[in-house]
Structure 1
Amino acid sequence: MTSTFLGANPDEAGHPPRRRPDPTTPTPTRPRRRPRRQAYAKAGLVLLPLLVAAAALAVHHSTGSFWGDLATYHAGASAAASGDGGLYQASHLGTDGISLGFTYPPFAALLFQPLVPVGMTVAVGVWTFASVLALLAVVWVTLRAAGVPPERRALATLAGGAVTLPMFAVSGHLQAGQVGLFLMLLVLLDVTGDPRRRWSGLGVGIAAGIKLTPLVFVVYLLATGRFRAAGTAVAAFAGTVALGFAWRPEDSVRFWTGALFDTSRVTADPRTILNQSLAGALARLTDSADPRTGWLPVAALVAVLGMAVAVYCARAGEHLLGVLACATTGVLVSPVSWHHHWVWCVPALVLLAVRSWRGRSRLGLAATGLTWLVFVAGTSWVLAGLHGWDLHFQGWGLLYSNLYVLVGLAGLGYLPIHLRRAGRSGPARPVSGLPGDLRQHDVPLPPGAEPPERESEPEKKP
């Protein structure tokens, strides 16, 4: 059977010949979903902080509770605004009957001055909104350091922020109105930035001027050979101290000569389940309110080994892992590390999830989910405190009350093993985390992407 086609002859198979497209005829295009998806994701990055801030305002208005740390910042800033000498006498009495005093350097009280003219309701809303933005920025910076392409970061940042909100280190941080997310963002932007920047180390110094715990990153910079950045950090920290003395000299003298070492202003009993440091773990294990005798040698050993792991990661090209190992070491060896100090679990989990997804590692994805569950399970620690059994533990209670400490120690112990296995399995392909060190062939490619072509070397003539 034959067919007749007007204006053309069929080919041997009876099919019409292929017509060349008319260049004047517009070709239909498929709808571009990716730009639309990116637009929705970017809108979500603004909507999520607004929703969380609105929820915080509703809770604060209806209960009048929580945000005790933010109220303490407000009280301290107000006392400092009224004159010199009253900063460390100011306190906030919470609805639970616990009095909280200002424990940061005078420089922090200077930065908190915008809180003075506004009431707590406005402060809760603005502070919560800014804190969630800082959380999203931390996820974004981590994804950038992990080599995630820019066109995928918005949606991944939104997903990462939403997933990490239920973790008690984050939700408890928002509930208390803490400052840790801002400090973590400052440090991450600084330490994972280009080391050739003139002001590298400035963020670490300013963060340490607000709260002393980021000083551990000065040790990391020195140990990894970034001496100029370490010097900049020390100079910036000294500048914050000098500024505090110039603004409130009497308060500065009191802080640096006495209030700094008064641990009773931080916690009445280190055994509380919310104190997730080595000192708190030892206090719960021994059921002693004064674990300093056993804590000092253990803390010194973990400090040395933890910093060695951080340096080992950096020398292997894994700078972001080195930063996370340093942060974990600092949280562990600090005499008091509240649950919200463990917000460093956010970049750690984001990096673990990215690596596991790219490597198609079921074990890595399972570890990511299990670690997430551990940090979510800490939410019920609030119930422990409300029922008054957050000081004495036995049996499985000892394991449950030290979850964060155990996860931190396990992470530090596993990193060297992971890096050695990666070194044995083939040439290292590090995700640097330092843009100045990134090389195109070192960054793991997203699924489906092809590696760029390399220029072939000229053949050597005999």
Structure 2
Amino acid sequence: MTTLSPTTGSRPARRRSTVLPAAALSVLAVLVAVAAVVVHRGTGRFWGDLAVYRVGAVAAAGGDGALYDVIHRGTDGIALGFTYPPFAALLLQPLAYLDAATGIGLWTLASVAAVAAVVRMTLRAAGVDTGPGPVLLGTVAVLPVFPVAGHLQVGQVGLFLALLVMWDLTGDPDSRWRGLGVGVAAGIKLTPLLFVVYLLCLRRWRAAGVALVAFAATVGLGLAWRPVDSIRFWGGGMLDTARVTGDPRTVLNQSLHGAVARIGDTADVRAVWLPLAALTTVAGLVVAVRCVRAGSELLGVLAAATTGLLVSPISWHHHWVWCVPALVLLVVRGRRNRLAVAVAVLLWTALVASAAWTVIGLLGVDLHFHGWQLLHSNLYVLVGYAALGWLAWRPDGARADGEEGWGR
């Protein structure tokens, strides 16, 4: 006579509780990708950044010297050129052989998968369940926030960079390859170089060295592949912010530079912005280091990421996809702190509502930077400084007594 384990009957139920959310997550990614293709074919609009990546990939595939001469002009009349290092164009080569619709579908599919991966890494770093159920709920919750929705709308690369950095800096602290993700991310887009400074401030010399070697390798690969374009980019082209935007005051530029420009209502604010940016960099990195010393690697990474977003000359709304791990962390923290839940709900609502910036732009309404409009147009900058201020006061994230440190 065979005796059944009391847990045997529950195994199919547990299996279903794992398989069904995983299947739902896959279906969600496919549905969002299909919707993106349908919207593109029906309107011919959006996905302008992905179109720039594609024309850049095509130009680079055609030979050396043309990468930074190509211009994509969207249906909105805005002309955009390729602004990333040649190494990025090398990674983007598959786009040169895909039509626009196929590229949009695959890019959107990969982007949703990246969101899910960031959610999972955040949950793991926070020491809670990383099963497909919580990951599915977190992914569904963050898709409507404007940094993520706007990222999907234009076909940006920021989610993949955040994923690389999260994988690198919240993973195994003893890995000999720590720093690799930061170096590769910086080779694609320069802004993650701030994380090298972050590692140096933490005296993680090996990880910083690995990051710098990896970054140098990306530069070397780009130079070997497209020497003329590489010399042009590293010889000064990377400093030409006019290729990114003609006026930093645009509301979608949620950086300190953009905020100062809007407050002064002038594009030339270097005399004010540079010292403020330097002060913010130092203060933000101090906060990041204090968070790590207080026991939270994840909060340190988020503080460093927020610092980078604030001090970069141009930080578009979709660069703020770092709100994804921040929101997930707040919800996790809310299991023991109702205030964290309230902050998460308030922040989520504000980030969703900020999509009004795009609606206003599509309607051709001009924003006047004074009064409530000035506060609204600098929303992400204000949230970023508020977050750094809170962490400066409570670098441990104000966790409850006896609670595990986040990201340990």
TM-score by length of 2: 0.96
Residues 190 and 200, structure 1, Cα contact 8 Å, conserved in 2: yes
Deviation at 1:342, TM superposition (A): 0.1
Write the distance in 2 (CA, Å) between the matches of 1:412 and 1:256.
32
- 2:289 corresponds in structure 1 to 311
Q: Name the counterpart of 1:430.
A: 405
1:47 is paired with a residue whose SS is helix
2:85 paired residue number: 105
Change beyond 3 A, Cα 1:84–1:418: same
What letter corresponds to residue 364 of structure 1 in structure 2?
A
Q: Does 1:197 align with 2:200?
A: no
| CA deviation profile, 1:146-197 (whole Å, cap 9, x unmatched) | 11134xx211110111110100100000000000111110110001111221
The equivalent of 2:235 in structure 1 is 257
Map of 1:376 onto structure 2: 352
Q: Is the 8 A contact 1:167 1:375 kept in 2?
A: yes
SS in 1 for 2:72: strand
Provide the identity percentage: 61
1:288 correspondence with 2:266: yes
Aligned partners of 2:392 and 2:21: how far apart in 1? 36
Specify the SS of the correspondent of 2:162: helix
1:248 aligns with 2:226: yes
Q: Secondary structure at the match of 2:394?
A: helix
Is 1:301 paired with 2:282? no
Match of 1:187 in 2: 165
d(CA) in 2 for partners of 1:95 and 1:391?
Answer: 22
Change (3 A) 1:291 1:160: same
Q: CA deviation at 1:111?
A: 0.5
Q: 1:253 to 1:427 in 2, by over 3 A?
A: same
Matched residue SS, 1:103:
coil
Match of 1:72 among 28, 37, 52: 52
How far did 1:26 drift?
6.0
> Following the alignment from structure 1 to structure 2, what is the Cα–Cα distance between the partners of residues 354 and 420?
14
Give the structure 1 partner of residue 244 of structure 2: 266
CA distance in 1, matches of 2:54, 2:390: 41
Q: Does the 8 Å CA contact 1:272/1:391 hold for their aligned counterparts?
A: no
1:278 aligns with 2:256: yes
* CA-CA distance at 1:47 after TM superposition: 0.8
3-state DSSP of counterpart to 2:355: helix
Cα distance in 2 for residues equivalent to 1:163 and 1:345: 12
Query: What's the Cα RMSD here?
Result: 1.7
Q: Distance in 1 between matches of 2:30 and 2:81?
A: 30
1:460 maps to which residue? none
2:75 maps to which residue? 95
2:314 counterpart of 1:336: yes
Picking from 80, 99, 107, the partner of 1:119 is 99
Q: Distance in 2 between matches of 1:345 and 1:128?
A: 19
The CA distance in 1 between the partners of 2:97 and 2:397, in whole Å, is 56
Structure 1 residues 422, 93: closer, same or farther in 2, change over 3 A? closer
Unaligned runs of 5+ residues in structure 1 are: 1-22, 439-462
How far does residue 417 in structure 1 lie from its aligned partner after superposition?
2.3
- Cα distance, 1:352 vs. partner? 1.1
| Secondary structure at 1:36 match in 2 | helix
Displacement of 1:377: 1.1
- Of 297, 312, 329, the residue aligned with 1:351 is 329
CA distance in structure 2 between the partners assigned to 1:391 and 1:257 by the alignment: 37
Contact 2:294 2:396 in 1 (8 A): no
Displacement after TM superposition at 1:378 (Å): 1.1
More helix by share: 2
CA distance in 2, matches of 1:400, 1:382: 13
Q: Which has the higher mean CA deviation after the structures are superposed, 325-334 or 24-33?
A: 24-33
Structure 1 position 170 matched with structure 2 position 145: no
**One-letter amino acid of the structure 2 residue matched with residue 296 of structure 1:** L
Structure 2 stretches of 5 or more lacking a match? none
**Aligned partners of 2:214, 2:15: CA distance in 1, in Å?**
41
Deviations 1:251-271 (A, max 9, x none): 001111121111110001111
Distance in 2 between the 1:324 and 1:35 partners?
34
Pair 1:157 & 2:135 matched: yes
**For residues 134 and 24 of structure 1, do their structure 2 counterparts lie closer, same or farther at Cα, with a shift above 3 Å needed?**
closer
State the distance in 1 between where 2:3 and 2:330 align. Answer: 50
Once the two structures are TM-superposed, the CA of residue 393 in structure 1 deviates from its matched residue by 1.8
- Inter-partner Cα distance in structure 1 for 2:296 and 2:129: 18
One-letter amino acid of the counterpart of residue 112, structure 2: V
Residues 9-40 of structure 1: CA deviation (Å, up to 9, x unaligned)? xxxxxxxxxxxxxx767688765533312111
> In 2, are the aligned partners of 1:107 and 1:244 still within 8 Å (CA)?
yes
Question: How far has the Cα of 1:386 moved from its partner?
Answer: 2.3
CA contact (8 A) 1:284 1:392 kept: no
Label 1:291 to 1:388 Cα distance change in 2 as closer, same or farther (>3 A): farther
Tell me, in whole angstroms, the C-alpha distance in 1 between the residues paired with 2:358 and 2:398: 40
Secondary structure of residue in 2 paired with 1:92: strand
Code of the residue aligned with 1:205 in structure 2: it is G
Q: Offset of 1:351 from its aligned partner?
A: 0.9
Out of 392, 395, 412, the residue aligned to residue 388 of structure 2 is 412
Deviation, 1:250, is 0.5
Contact preservation (8 Å) 1:271, 1:391: no
The structure with the larger Rg is 1
Range 35-44 or range 68-77, more displaced: 35-44
- Retained in 2: the 8 A contact 1:422–1:428? no
SS at 1:195 equivalent: coil
Q: Distance in 1 between matches of 2:380 and 2:75?
A: 27
The residue number in structure 1 matching 2:42 is: 62
Q: Helix, strand or coil: the match of 2:354?
A: helix
1:394 and 2:370 are equivalent in the alignment = yes
Match of 2:302 among 297, 310, 324: 324
